[in-house]
Amino acid sequence: MQEQYRTVAREGVHETEINRSRFICALAPAATEEEAQAFVARIRREHPTATHNCFAYVVGADAAVQKASDDGEPGGTAGVPMLQMLLRREIRYVAAVVTRYYGGVKLGAGGLIRAYGGVVGEALDALGTVTRKRFRLATVTVDHQRAGKLENDLRATGRQVRDVTYTDTVRIGIGLPDADVDAFRAWLADVTAGTAGLELGGEAYGDA
């Protein structure tokens, strides 16, 4: 798995004008290919009279799913430079649609490549990105007597507390960088006098 990846902070739109053509870049987070396709379809419905609605999306921390479309622009001048901009910036789980309203001036292949790739880069700058880091899911089991203080200690030391479940014991779900597991195990034994249990789970990504 990738140690980390970047994605867009939020959905949004950035517009620029080049030689009288309007280029409107819509970006959105997309957890799955289906979400990416649904976003592309929605933007197309919002701009039915546009000259082109070109798109690119990347899904997967390792960029396993990649797709791009020129939507009628000359081959390789729209979708591919959009995709290359996302990959160059190491952006994942994102869909980008660039809507073009033709202004009467031809840009040529080089101009189109610069325009489509450029407006995606500008949109990323305008909307901002966030980094997601890989971590290990873990569950701490502790008695009720120690749970409140332990939860406070976890938050105070910057641990990522994901959930707390109260049954006959208290289960606190946390996220840990893999490299911290041994040190955390020792810290936990120290602060709970060895009474807490630690159960390691799978891996996920969270805020850096």
pLDDT of residue 149: 92
1 has pLDDT over 80: no
If DSSP states are collapsed to H, E and C, what string results for the chain? CCCEEEEECCCEEEEEEECCEEEEEEEEECCCHHHHHHHHHHHHHHCCCCCEEEEEEEECCCCCEEEEECCCCCCCCCHHHHHHHHHHCCECCEEEEEEEECCCCCCHHHHHHHHHHHHHHHHHHHHCEEEEEEEEEEEEEECHHHHHHHHHHHHHCCCEEEEEEECCCEEEEEEECHHHHHHHHHHHHHHCCCCCEEEEEEEEEEEC
Instruction: Give me the domains of the chain, ranges plus CATH numbers.
Output: 4-127 (3.30.230.30), 132-207 (3.30.70.240)
Identify the pLDDT of residue 158.
84
pLDDT in tens, 106-162: 999 999 999 999 999 999 999 999 998 888 889 999 999 999 999 999 989 888 888
Cα 153 → chain centroid: 29
Tens of pLDDT, residues 29-82: 999 999 999 999 999 999 999 999 999 999 998 999 999 999 999 999 999 999
**pLDDT of 202:** 83
The predicted structure's pLDDT at residue 190: 93
CB atoms within 10 A of CB 13: 16
